[in-house]
Amino acid sequence: MRSVLLALSLVMSFSSIAASAPLPAPVGCTSSESRQFDFWIGKWDVYAKTRPDQKVANSLIENLYHGCAIRENWMPLHTDRPGGSINAYSPEKRVWRQFWADSDGSSAQFEGHRNGKAMVLTGVWPQPGHPTQMTRMTYTPLPDGSVEQVGVTSDDNGRSWQASFDFVYKHTH
């Protein structure tokens, strides 16, 4: 009987200690800003907007690290130049950041914001013959659940822009 009372006393002591201990901080990124790019998450078939019947790539966009990062795995169908990006919201700078790398050894960094309807990221993405070319990418969720990604480039530090690519990401079934 004495050992039962001792055991109950220990359980009660641990219960009161646990109840008074502060709860651990939530794991992951839960702010509304860190969720702004979630519309891009999914498994996609990618089409050139000008050729909606011609699939150009597969893309897997994953939510990682308890919602703190989004990773794209870009798998083009007609070239052997796969690549991908890692995207994260920086609360300190209050911007989204993207780092792109591909199988050609190309890499680029982009920063930007959600402008209400779309995510807009801009950075220098060197191209052959254009070592300081800027690229601005706009990701827009469409009413049917697809996402349009439009890219424009500038060789004059953003004073003028030229169309580069226009993709539509459609959920795979």
The answer to whether the beta carbons of residues 168 and 146 sit under 8 Å apart is yes
pLDDT at 149: 98
Which residue do the tokens 């999914």 mark?
42
Residue 35: phi and psi, rounded to 5, are -105, 0
Q: Is 20 helix (H, G, I), strand (E, B) or coil?
A: helix
pTM of the model: 0.83
Going from N- to C-terminal start, the domains of the chain cover 33-171
pLDDT at 3: 54
pLDDT at 23: 61
Which residue do the tokens 């800027």 mark?
134
Amino acid letter, residue 38: D
d(CA 90, CA 160): 28
pLDDT in 10s for each residue of the chain, 173 residues = 555 444 445 445 444 444 555 666 556 799 999 999 999 999 999 999 999 899 999 999 999 999 999 999 999 998 878 999 999 999 999 999 999 999 989 999 999 999 989 999 999 999 989 999 999 999 999 999 999 999 999 999 999 999 999 999 999 97
pLDDT at 80: 77
pLDDT at 11: 43
Please give the structure tokens belonging to residue 147: 């996402």
The DSSP string of 88-103 is EEETTTTEEEEEEEET
pLDDT at 14: 45
The answer to whether the beta carbons of residues 70 and 37 sit under 8 Å apart is yes
What is the homologous superfamily of the domain 33-171 according to CATH?
Calycin beta-barrel core domain (2.40.128.20)
Radius of gyration of the chain (CA): 23
